[in-house]
Structure 1
Amino acid sequence: MAPATPSAAPAPRPVDLYRAVWRWHFYAGLLVLPFLVLLAVTGALYLFQAEIDDYVYRDLRTVPRAAAQLPHSAVLARAGAAFPGVVASYVPAAAPGRSAQVLLRGADGARVVVFVDPYRGKVLGSLPDKGGVSGVVRRLHSLSYFGTLANGLIEMAAGWTILLVVSGLYLWWPRGRRGALLLRGRPGQRVFWRDLHAVTGVYVALFLLFLAVTGMPWSVLWGAQINQWANGSNFGYPAGVRVALPMSDEHLQHALPTAWSLRQARLPATPTGAGAAAPIGVDRAVARFDQLGIARGYAVSLPAGPAGVYSAAVYPADLAAQRVVHIDQYTGRVLLDMGYGDYGPLGKSLEWGINVHLGQQFGLANQLVLLAACVAIVLLCVAGGCMWWQRRPAGGLGVPPMPADRGALKVVLAVMAVGGLLLPLVGASMLLMLALDYCLALRRR
């Protein structure tokens, strides 16, 4: 008689698979919910950062109109007289009735933005660079106030959010029952909070995924790697779009506010060098940028040394108007002129996602839709917290039961391991949570 062929291991039962997913959805939610509330509240505020700054700092940002503006060199001189330092960048008045902004770097390295009336030359006041209300909100949003480790926690939370959405949709899936998009019970009952959490999660799932994925480029580890990969060498992506240029070792982000996609971009070096002629000066440089048609609101960086260049960059709400221009500081000749249309498919996709994430691409509609999503995310977290609080036993965490078939747990862990490999910080936190789960299982035995 031929030996019996060993049968394949049976597939996990649906109830065991459900319990395994539920267990890890619970752990992820316990870890991520506080971060999601922080990100939703600060993100909702930052959607309206321009409007908030215009209101809070209207005495700095707006001025009475007049017939003519002073030369740009005079504006820089007034700012330098009031706040000694080296000019790092300069933003000419973006529109009539707007102030000019001069970024100065002091001897101690501190950077301050000085606001100047471009018509009368009056210094209106100053703010720390990246300070003010919107600066505080942005640093809270990324936890950059608290250093690299805290910023890494935000990256970990964003990665776990992706897994939370996928596992949450699996848990919600109707499986033949009706009314999966309706609320049951009353606010005092756990079923009400469960349904509120599930139904809100279904409606906001795509927004959560979109915000988590498009927020990853700013992250400390994954974002840095994708940034380096996307940029390649030399000037962003693609390198040296219009002409072959000699490149300096200075990066664009050190000279100007820059789009995420150009953080690795290097500044060109002036080919003619210091011996060619006298520099054209800031007045002629700004006139040259205006002649080239770059959108107003652009920032100008001054040459850093004899081989430096004048650079102008603008990143408005309309992606099509994104632009970076470098000109020779002696001749005004254009060395590089790069816009959104020059990016490759990856660069365009990343920039589009970032612009929508910031609430810029589609104007007020973009802001209002994402504001509603942020409110729904807070509601989702509150409902999840209330549901857990009502369910948990006294003195315990209320961890969902372990599946009877441990094979179901292995299936879920295998799927999660893929996410851990793609997002290393998430993978590291998974190992810690596995150790915690093992300890809890031992304690229960």
Structure 2
Amino acid sequence: MSLSLSGSARPFGVAQTARASREALYRAVWRWHFYAGLLCLPFLVSLSATGALYLFKDEINATVFAARTTVTPSESRLGPDRLIFEAMQAVPGGTPLSYTDPARPDASAVVTLAEGKAKILVYLDPADGTVLDTVDRDGEFFAVVKRLHSLAYFGPLANAVIEIVAGFAIILVITGAYLWWPRGQQGGVVTVRGTPRRRVWWRDLHAVTGFVAGGGLLFLAMTGLPWSIWWGDQLRHWSNAAELAQPSILWAGRPVSKVPMVDVLPSTGWTMQDAPVPQSPAGTKPIGIDEAAAILTRLGMPRGFELSLPVGPTGVYAAAVYPKDVARQRVVSLDQYTGKPLVDVPFQQIGPVGRLIQYGIGIHLGQYWGRANQLAMLAFCLATILLSVTAGAMWWKRRPAGGLGVPPWPRDRRAVAGVTGIVVGLGALFPLTGLAILAMLGLDLILGLALRRRTA
């Protein structure tokens, strides 16, 4: 009889232990999912809202701001030099910096002028030079949206927060996938149970939305990281040094300045933005911006390029175009005296890492596959907002009176250590996120000790 009892008790004990381990692991993952969400959600709402607006930049410009961006198509067009002259009449004392070629027959031309520390955008009808509008570049609607999206309004440290959030968003998706994984439950996988009055309805809606949109959120976080203040800069430096992004051989044996390309051409893409601006050899008479624009046209530069004017006797005519067709991106610098291309970098000459990142950024911005790309990214943005709202509702419904409602750590310290080790390992891939994780662990330890002392 004793052998029979012993034999039946053992598998029951093993099953109970396995179940306890699974529950401990689940609670440890849940704790980190909560932490990641606590930090991420307010920023994810902001990023999603501003990102959704930016996806439809062209459409909004062509409707809301049509008075300055859209003109009646005409076969006659003034040259850049005359348009710059007209722009300077609208902003007396302004110093011309660049000219942006109309991308379409019904698009306006844009001249950028410096007025003190401000940069002024002057929109003109290319047919007759009529000034349509003047706008401070930093106050232009989508410049504001972009700076809100990156938190650039609040300085470089705020941009570091975006990098931390992107890292935590990746942790959020990975831990969320584990929590969503079906474990025999009847709902919350692809269906929603209950009604909005019940917490389970919000939990299931959160889980199902995460299942549908988690991959999109992961993609947006990964393709946004190249623009980040530390990780993105390190990626650029590493890929350039390895000849996998910026083709530095194009600058070999050529005189270059210490000015990065992005300082003269804000439209320069990610791969080329820190490339040095070349220098023109000594000469006597500049060719002029009309001839520079004509040379670019003969070289096959796509319409819509931005062309900066030379600065000083060694300056160059630098041009960049960033069309929706990623493969047509191009950067060209012309000798201001002869018009000879000093540097000509079509997309195909960028290294594989640079091309991959530019494709990712193009899709991130909804530019690569037309309307389908825009709508897919919009769906991910709206789903991310819904994830944030449902997470807040779940927390509100489960929080104890007077408490924060943080999911408790399981008693199984092996589960805690294992999950935390994985999270710290992910943090090591994104060092600013890793530092935030260590800070959260330290704060969690301090609060835990304080709570134990108070209850002792």
CA offset at residue 395 of structure 1?
0.4
Residue from 80, 83, 94 that aligns with 1:72: 80
CA offset at residue 130 of structure 1?
4.3
Deviates more, 1:400-409 or 1:11-20: 11-20
Tell me what 1:284 maps to.
291
Tell me what 1:411 maps to.
418
Tell me what 2:107 maps to.
98
Residue from 120, 123, 138 that aligns with 2:146: 138
Residue from 398, 409, 421 that aligns with 1:402: 409
5+ long unaligned stretches in structure 1: 1-9
Tell me what 2:159 maps to.
151
Tell me what 2:274 maps to.
264
Residues 315 and 67 of structure 1: CA distance in aligned 2, closer, same or farther (over 3 Å): closer
Q: Secondary structure at the match of 1:113?
A: strand
5+ long unaligned stretches in structure 2: 1-16
Report if aligned partners of 1:270, 1:308 keep a CA contact under 8 Å in 2: yes
The aligned runs of 1:351-390 (5 Å cut-off) are 351-390=358-397
Tell me what 1:128 maps to.
136
CA distance in 2, matches of 1:37, 1:292: 44
Report if aligned partners of 1:204, 1:373 keep a CA contact under 8 Å in 2: yes
CA distance in 1, matches of 2:39, 2:340: 54
CA distance in 2, matches of 1:424, 1:121: 51
Report if aligned partners of 2:244, 2:351 keep a CA contact under 8 Å in 1: no
Tell me what 2:323 maps to.
316
Q: Does 1:207 align with 2:230?
A: no
CA distance in 2, matches of 1:71, 1:173: 62
Deviates more, 1:169-178 or 1:310-319: 169-178
Residues 135 and 439 of structure 1: CA distance in aligned 2, closer, same or farther (over 3 Å): same
CA distance in 2, matches of 1:205, 1:401: 25
CA offset at residue 178 of structure 1?
4.3
Report if aligned partners of 1:52, 1:134 keep a CA contact under 8 Å in 2: no
Tell me the TM-score normalized by structure 1: 0.93
Q: Which amino acid counterpart does residue 266 of structure 1 have in structure 2?
A: P
CA distance in 1, matches of 2:260, 2:305: 18
CA offset at residue 244 of structure 1?
4.5
CA offset at residue 32 of structure 1?
1.0
Q: Secondary structure at the match of 1:260?
A: coil
Q: Which amino acid counterpart does residue 127 of structure 1 have in structure 2?
A: V
CA distance in 2, matches of 1:88, 1:236: 28
Tell me what 2:48 maps to.
40
CA distance in 1, matches of 2:269, 2:102: 20
CA distance in 2, matches of 1:341, 1:209: 27
CA offset at residue 166 of structure 1?
0.4
Identical-residue share of aligned pairs (%): 49
CA distance in 1, matches of 2:106, 2:406: 59
Residue from 174, 187, 190 that aligns with 2:199: 190
Report if aligned partners of 1:88, 1:302 keep a CA contact under 8 Å in 2: yes
Q: Which amino acid counterpart does residue 224 of structure 2 have in structure 1?
A: G
Q: What count of residue pairs does the alignment treat as equivalent?
A: 432
CA distance in 1, matches of 2:209, 2:154: 32
The aligned runs of 1:296-311 (5 Å cut-off) are 296-311=303-318
Deviates more, 1:140-149 or 1:130-139: 130-139
CA distance in 2, matches of 1:319, 1:344: 14
Residue from 290, 300, 305 that aligns with 1:293: 300
Q: Secondary structure at the match of 1:261?
A: coil
CA distance in 2, matches of 1:105, 1:234: 35
CA distance in 2, matches of 1:234, 1:248: 20
The aligned runs of 1:80-95 (5 Å cut-off) are 80-83=88-91, 84-95=93-104
The aligned runs of 1:199-278 (5 Å cut-off) are 199-232=208-241, 237-241=246-250, 244-256=253-265, 257-271=267-281, 273-274=282-283, 277-278=284-285
CA distance in 2, matches of 1:281, 1:411: 66
Residue from 401, 417, 432 that aligns with 1:425: 432
Tell me what 1:5 maps to.
none
CA offset at residue 240 of structure 1?
3.5
Report if aligned partners of 1:233, 1:239 keep a CA contact under 8 Å in 2: no
Residue from 170, 173, 193 that aligns with 1:165: 173
Residue from 190, 203, 216 that aligns with 1:181: 190
CA distance in 1, matches of 2:208, 2:108: 47
Q: Secondary structure at the match of 1:379?
A: helix
Q: CA RMSD in A?
A: 2.0
CA distance in 2, matches of 1:182, 1:54: 40
Q: Which amino acid counterpart does residue 102 of structure 1 have in structure 2?
A: V
For residues 213-265 of structure 1, give each alpha carbon's deviation from its aligned partner in whole angstroms, at most 9, with x where no partner exists.
Answer: 10011112211221222334999611144974222222110111211111111
Deviates more, 1:171-180 or 1:32-41: 171-180
Tell me what 1:3 maps to.
none
Q: Secondary structure at the match of 1:388?
A: helix
For residues 163-215 of structure 1, give each alpha carbon's deviation from its aligned partner in whole angstroms, at most 9, with x where no partner exists.
Answer: 01101111111134444221111110011111111111111111010000100
CA distance in 2, matches of 1:352, 1:303: 30
Q: Which amino acid counterpart does residue 263 of structure 1 have in structure 2?
A: Q
CA distance in 1, matches of 2:59, 2:29: 43
CA distance in 2, matches of 1:150, 1:79: 35
CA distance in 2, matches of 1:198, 1:65: 50
Tell me what 2:6 maps to.
none
Q: Which amino acid counterpart does residue 270 of structure 2 have in structure 1?
A: W
